[in-house]
Amino acid sequence: MVKIWTRDEYHKQLGWKRFWKEDCPFCNAEEQEWHTLWKGKHWYILHNLYPYSGNEQHLMAVPYAHREVSIDLTEDELKELKEVHQFMSQYFWGEHYFSCTRESFWNRSIEHYHVHFIPGKLQGKYLRKMLENQGFPIREDLES
């Protein structure tokens, strides 16, 4: 079982620090080994220790090479991303899950491209809460 912290605990623990290339925790895959589930040639998959949903099944796919946005990915990295999705399909077999990433740098704590795979259904109130917790302004009111 992997120890999971809330996003608030994450930000308090790090003092709202942002990680740049010089101190990027994803660039040293060996340090992440203890919560890594899968390793490919260009990507590795690990548990998100600070999941948006508070769920220990929240996984992330991370390229070994420091990339900031998806257009920085090489052709080989994009090809292996298919294997990442195949792994996730097997991991979440029969369960609902969705994937997401942020391309902009606004409110990202780590400037290393990664893809989130989050269990559950992508529903209005759930998505709204997740986005609000990440600092995205939500202006519309949702009906029950």
The pLDDT value given to residue 70: 94
What is the value of pTM for the model shown?
0.74
The pLDDT, as a whole number, for residue 134 is 61
Structural domain boundaries of the chain? 7-133
Give the pLDDT of the chain (144 residues) as one tens digit per residue.
566 556 566 556 655 455 556 778 899 888 889 999 999 999 999 998 887 767 788 899 999 999 999 999 999 999 999 999 999 999 999 898 888 887 776 666 788 899 999 888 666 666 666 666 666 666 655 554
DSSP string over 54-85: S-TT-EEEEESS--SSGGG--HHHHHHHHHHH
Fold of 7-133: HIT family, subunit A (3.30.428)
CA-CA-CA-CA torsion for 108, 114, 120, 122, nearest 10 degrees? 60
**pLDDT of the residue at 144:** 46
